[in-house]
Structures are given as structure tokens and as C-alpha cells.
Amino acid sequence: MPDIDIFFEKIKQKMNNNQLAAIKHEDGPALVLAGAGSGKTRVLTIKIASLIYQKLCGTNELLALTFTNKAANEMRERINTFVGNKLDFPWIGTFHSISYKILRLNSDYIVGNYNKNFSIYDPSDQLKVIKSIIKDNDLDLNRYDPSKIRSKIDSLKNSLLYDEWEFDDEIEQKIIQTYQTRLETLNAMDFGDLILKFYELLTKNNNFKQKMQNLFKYVFVDEYQDTNNIQFRLINIISNPQRNLFVVGDEDQSIYGWRGANIENILQFKKFFPDTEVYKLEQNYRSTPEILNVSNSLISKNTERLEKKMWTINKKGNPVKLVSFEDDRTEAKYVARNILSEKSTFPFKDIAIFYRTNAQSRVLEDELRRANIKYRIFGNISFYERAEVKDCISYLKFITNKNDEIAFDRIINNPTRGIGLKTLQKIKLIASQENINLFETIKKIRTEKTFSNKINIAISKLIESIDFFIEDIDKFSSLSEAFEKFLNSIEYFDSLKDDDKLENVSEFLNFIAEFENNNFNDINDFLNSLMLSSAVDDLDNSSSFVTLMTVHLSKGLEFPSVYVVGIEEGLFPHSRSMFSVAEIEEERRLCYVAFTRAIKSLNLSYCKIRRQFGSIIYSNPSQFLDEIDSCEDLNIIDLNTSDTNEEKVFHYKFGNGYIDIADTDNYEDVVTVKFDSGVVKKVFINDLEEVD
């Protein structure tokens, strides 16, 4: 039996027919329409593994593009599991990380004054640059909102309109143009630049384009429905002339239109690539039939979608629960109490609470704390956004890119060196006048004794520490060891009075060491792996915490038990989407994503009254709930009455009664129950049964 037959014989027991057909696809474009929980990652990874197994291409001849580092890492691990080797896949990564890598390797060709040690600026760095430009020009920060300008910059780059956009406001145009010039001066790129500069190389340098096309025999794209215009163009160019393009996606999970994703890329794929073979993965392996039926009932109301209906052979579970409440406080109390009542079935780590906007988390947090339920807000301030960690990153960024003004601003007086705003401005002025980088500038200042003796001593110490660190990298066995010595030399540890901050810096050093053990090349590679990480990459499901997050962040995840709260008109769908059919359909897809994250239990809820911006808002149930209320797998419970603070239960000893939801002081293992006999008792939650 040929080797490839042995390979397919090995895997076919674990694959359905449609999955197997997609994996066996030969040359030419292929579109795999993979519904929620249909095993798309398995198909994608086994497809790549089969190419390696058949020796149809080498590991360095295939390009696989993802949207998160987590997805890329998982892909590598799964492929190696199938091929039975620990192979290196240099071109499996996110759009941004692959673009960064290619730009570094081909930095001589980049349009503009860049070298290979360019910095990557995250959104907060972008804001700092924009704010400084607005202040330099004595403009009003209220009229020229830095956040809105940053969003416009990102949008223009993602849509390939950066050089063609016609501005109504000449001042805004000047800000944006100055921003781009400033980044080039700082030897820095934002996320949009990474892909834009790569695209420019492909379109303006024919030799480079041919080099890329010859390099990649096969091109794979995960989550294809999330691609924007420039990403589509990149894929189109690189996959020529072989057209061995294999994309996996689900139009029903296209939820990023607001940040440039174009659903037409997947809806019109056959139009763009006429010889495409289409494979539909409709069997769901994740959820119960009840959850899937409710989800199908919802998404079927969309018109902008391809024909696909998810089904499952998973065993039946409980109906999806839809509960209405008088107000958001009662909703939050109910969620907390329900989590406690089900903790023998669903430990905290198995539970997620989803909401449409971040503001909704506050009242949920209040009630979870009262109930002594451990939780974490996912996608809020990440580890790498903590001040002391940002300090460490900035030091490393400045050491590798001595034009990095944003990093310099952060480190020059941290720890305190007596360098105030005026001194900092003078340093930058000298750098500009002399046309030298900031490190050379402070060396010049020290030699010429431009400032006070105290400042000169502090600057000298910093210069010596940086010089020693650069030398020590080669002397020490690891970057982490050299960097720890550097932080000691500048007395950074002494400046941290908080134990938590010291622990965070220690953890950062641990992370450097871990990176070195895995795939360390140089400091730039380490730094930019941090800059290009997403919120999803930080998720750890091993800890015993309930997870709270917006629905947008939930995509690609799954939890045994899911609560989706605040499903009300004006909130979900959001009020900003109410006047556009296309935007309503995207909101419906977002709701569908929320539902399909659930494995065994799905709880939906809405309120009659919600507090927003200090005011009471009267709400109506979401139109999405009207669209599913006829589904036989939906259990509708109305707590929107005078009995909002009670739920019927049965106790083996005391009989029927009602839990006092308003009793917020006894949330751990016991609750107060008013029994029909007139007796009021505190009893263990585990001794109670729900009564319909």
C-alpha cells in the first residue's frame, strides 16, 4: 500500500466524509466552508501534514496565515503530531508576524528610511505620536480626537486608500501625513504599515514579487471571512501563478466589519477564483443539539450567507434557557447564584459570561465579588500593558532602535534621573538639529556637559549600562540573565516599591527565558513577538476563574457553560447598527458566535431596565430573541414580575419553597429559602432541586 494510502487510512476513522474530501483536494483553489465547531483546524492541519507526508513541498515552501499567534502555534503542534516529527515551519504565523519577518529579511527594499531593526508601535504608541503632533501644532485635542484619527489611519491602510484619500479637513490631512513621516523618522511601523509595506514591495518590485511567488508553492488562510481588502490582495498576488490556495472560513462568523474585514471576500470567492472547489463542513462536534438548533434558528434570518446548516450527533442536553429580569442588578445576582448552584457540574474555569460592551461588566463584577466567585476580565489590561512591564519593553526597544522616541520618552526618567519635560525637549531639539539619534545625543550632552552635574551623572550611568548590556549579551548565556543585570545596574528594581510589580518584572524575565528556549533569534524577534500578540494569546483555561469578556473576544473559544447577558434592543444589536441591514446582519452573526461558544449549557438573558451613564434606560428584548422564541429547544422564563426576587425549588426535608435572590450575603454554599410551610431556612445549594 502506498505511503499516502497508509496516511489516509490512519486518519479516516477520525474524519467525516466532507472533511476527508477537503483534505484530499489536489491542486488549485479550494474554499472550505467550516461552520462553528466543525473541526476546521483539524482539516487545515491534516491537509498541510498530508503535503509534507507526500513530500509535495518542504516546510519552508508553504505559507499558512492566521489571525492569532495561538492559532498559529496550535497549527504547528498539530501538524507535527500527524507527521511524527518536530519540524520547523518558518512561514506559519499571523498576517502581521509573517509581514514583519519578510520585511526584516528584505529591509533594503523597503520604501522609506527604514532599517531591519525597526520598532513596531502598538495602538497606545500610535496615540502618543498623534497627540505629540497635535500639541506641536497647538491644535485642540477635543476637535482633533487622537483615537478617531488613529482609527482613520488604520482604516485607510487596511482599505488601501492611504495614498488616495481625499480629506475634507486639511489640518486632519496634515496630522495624518506628519504622523507617517514621524514614524519613518523614528524607524517605526504600526500594525497597518507591516502589511502595507509588504504589499508595496509586491506591487512595486517585480523581482521581489516573483521571489515570493516562487518561494510559496501552497498558501493556506485560516478564518478567511475576517480578511480585509489589503490582505485579500496579498493572498491573491502570492498565490499566483500556481493558484494552490486553500482557505477555511465561515461567513456566519464574520464579525469584524468595523475594523475593515470584508465579508465579500468569502461570499464572492468563486467569482474571484472561478475554478474553486467548495467543501462544506456542516457537522458540529462541539455543542448539544439544543444549542445548535437555537443558533441555527437565529442565523437563518441572515440573507448575506452561503447555504449551510449545522447538525450534530452529540447526545441531547438541556434546553437553552432564556430569562428576563426587571433590571441589570437582578440579572447579575441571578447569574452569580446560578453559577454557584451548578458548580458541581461546571467548575469556575468552565464558565464564561459574554456581554456586548465592556461597560456591562461592572454590575456583574459587583455580584460575583459578593458571591465570592473568582473571576477575571479577559481582554482588559493585559500583562504586557502593566506599567513596569512596559518599562522593560521600552528599554529593550530603545537599545535595539535608538531612534525610538516613544520608548526613549518612557525610559529617560525611569527610574527618576531629574530629567523633566524641558530637559527632554532640549534633548530632542539637539537630536533634530544635529541629525543624530537620541542615544548619540545623550552621549554628546554628557561630553559637552550641557546640563547640570546631577543630570550628567545620571545620563552617564544610563549610557554605561546600555553599553555594558550590549556587550554582555555575548558574554552571558542568556538574554534574560543579561537584562536582569542591566535592570540592577540602573537601579530599576530598587525603584519598585510594590511586591506585585517586582513579581511582574520577574515574570517578564521568565518569559524572555522561555522564548529563548523555544525560538530565540535576537532581541527584535522577542520584542515583536510581544507586540504582535493578541488578547486571545493570553487566555489560560487552567485557572479556576469564571471568564468575563465581550462577545467579540470570544470568537475561536469554547466553554462548557456560557451566559450571554443584556440581549436587548439598542445594546445587542447595538444602537449604532440599527439603521443598516448589513450592520444588523453582522450583529446577528456576532450573536450567533456567542451562542455557538457553548458546549453543554447556554443561558440567555435580558432586562426591562438597565443603568447606563448614570441614567435608567428602559429596554425591549432584542429582535434576535424574537427570531428564536419559536424554537422548541428554548425554555423561556419570565422573572420580569413582582416575583423577581424568588425562584421555586424543592428540598428533600422541607419541601417546596422559593430562593430569596435578594439575599446577597450568603452566596457561597448556602442560600435563604422561604418554604411553603412558612419556615425560612438557610440551606445548602446542593440540597436543592429546581422546580419548573
Just list the catalytic residues: 40-41, 222-223, 253, 597
C-alpha dihedral (522, 527, 530, 533), degrees to nearest 10? -80
Q: Give the DSSP letter string of 632-673.
A: TTEEEEEE-STTTTEEEEEETTTEEEEEETT--S--SSEEEE
State the residue for C-alpha cell 419570565.
638
Q: Give the DSSP letter string of 460-481.
A: HHHHHHHHHHHHHHHHSS-HHH
Q: For residue 357, what is its C-alpha cell?
A: 460592551
Q: For residue 416, what is its C-alpha cell?
A: 527618576
Q: Helix, strand, or coil here: 549?
A: strand
Q: Give the DSSP letter string of 582-638.
A: HHHHHHHHHHHHHHTTEEEEEEEEEEEEEEETTEEEE--B-HHHHHHTT-TTEEEEE
The answer to whether 39 and 281 have CB atoms below 8 angstroms apart is: yes
Is residue 3 exposed (0-12), middle (13-18) or buried (19+ Cβ within 10 Å)?
exposed
The C-alpha atoms of residue 666 and residue 656 are separated, in whole angstroms, by: 20
- Residue 483, CB-side half-sphere exposure with 13 Å CA sphere: 25
User: How many residues in the chain?
Assistant: 692
The answer to whether 659 and 646 have CB atoms below 8 angstroms apart is: yes
Q: Helix, strand, or coil here: 375?
A: strand
Sign of the alpha-carbon torsion through 20, 21, 26, 30 = negative
The answer to whether 302 and 308 have CB atoms below 8 angstroms apart is: no
Which runs of consecutive H residues, i.e. helices, occur in 326-413? 328-341, 361-370, 387-400, 405-411
Q: Which amino acid is at 337?
A: R
Q: For residue 121, what is its C-alpha cell?
A: 508601535
The strand pairing partners of 377, in sequence order, are: 548
Task: Please tell me whether the peptide bond between 241 and the residue prior to it is cis, using omega within 30 degrees of 0.
Answer: yes
Residues 6+ apart with CB under 8 A from 535: 378, 379, 382, 553
Residues 6+ apart with CB under 8 A from 4: 50, 53, 54
The C-alpha atoms of residue 535 and residue 5 are separated, in whole angstroms, by: 40
Q: Helix, strand, or coil here: 675?
A: strand
Q: Which of 348, 332, 399, 375 is nearest to 605 (CA)?
A: 332
Q: Which of 231, 252, 275 is nearest to 26 (CA)?
A: 275
The C-alpha atoms of residue 512 and residue 523 are separated, in whole angstroms, by: 9
The C-alpha atoms of residue 348 and residue 290 are separated, in whole angstroms, by: 23
